Amino acid sequence: MYINMLPMKTYNESPAPDDFNMNYEKITAVSFDGFELKAWLIKGKDSAPAVIMVHGKGGNKSGLLHLARIVNSKGYHVLLPDLRGHGESGNALMTFGLDEAKDLETIYDSLKRRGNIDSSRVCVYAQSMGSAASVLAFVNKSEIRGFVIDSGFDSLDELIADVGSESYGLPHWLGKMSTWTYRVFTGHSASEVNPAELLSRSDKSVLLFHSKNDRVIPFRRALSLFEKIAGPKRLVQSEAGHTGAWGENPGEYEKKLLKFFDGCFSKEHFDPNSI
């Protein structure tokens, strides 16, 4: 089975912060392997905390702008990066979280140097593949208060095995063997992309959104991830498709999201079950 790791470029990004007269800055960084990385920093109130919002496979920073506006309306700074092979960032192969995590750390460094941002209080919102990259990049950083994961997965090797069995009718064990494609392209094992293992050793607060009807990342991958999270956690189930919870009930989704950020910024180890 072939794993598609080719870039998924989207050049015509719409909307953009200019469309909403938002106060923002364009950020450019260079990845460890020489690719240009692009991001928007939407500015909040002076000395306010920040939220990093990361898109999934096939998306870009523009796709999260409407939700970023809602977060920014609370006064929070919002960092919107384009992952490699997406949007305006370099035309690099995807690694489903491994190299993307390094890219996020590189872009994040520009956030930490800002004197008007409270870099001791940061939260992360991420979708799908972006959630794996975000956990790998930020789980061990003390200033990260919590993660919102929409349609994430526990481990890449298990996800590949699921895709092999559900899309190609392969036995689970045979589907898992197809991770050789990943090793050929990256020189690494797919088992290295394992958000569940990292969160099992972390006390970060985590809010999960996942659809029981997700055909891209099966719901059982979310259940496996949820079971392994060691810190305060909550799983919100929906009936929508992949990353569809926001569209299914925007008001409730946004309410939970903002309450989670408010809670995490007010104290460490916030319990998402209180929202």
* Residue spans per domain, the chain: 17-274
DSSP letter assigned to residue 83: P
pLDDT at 71: 98
DSSP letter assigned to residue 86: B
Q: What is the rounded CA–CA span in Å between residue 144 and residue 121?
A: 6
Exposure string over 27-56, b if 16+ CB within 10 A, otherwise e: bebebeeebebbbbbbbbeeebbbbbbbbb
Q: How confident is the model at residue 2 (pLDDT cuts 50, 70, 90)?
A: very low
DSSP letter assigned to residue 244: -
Q: What is the rounded CA–CA span in Å between residue 104 and residue 260?
A: 22
More confident residue, 62 or 175: 62
* Architecture in CATH for domain 17-274: 3-Layer(aba) Sandwich (3.40)
Residue type, 102: K
Exposure string over 173-198, b if 16+ CB within 10 A, otherwise e: eebbbbbebbeeebeeebebbbbbeb
Phi, psi of 185 (to 5 degrees): -80, -35
pLDDT at 5: 61
Condensed to tens digits (0 to 9), the pLDDT of residues 3-48 reads 666 667 655 667 899 998 999 999 999 999 999 999 999 999 999 9
Q: What is the pTM of this model?
A: 0.94
Asked, as a colleague might, if the bond just before 232 is cis with ω within 30 of 0, I would say no
Condensed to tens digits (0 to 9), the pLDDT of residues 124-145 reads 999 999 999 999 999 999 999 9
pLDDT at 168: 57
Mean pLDDT, the chain, integer? 91
Q: Which two tokens stand for residue 215?
A: 């055909």
Residues in the chain: 275
- Please, what is the angle between helix 65-72 and helix 250-266, to 10°? 50
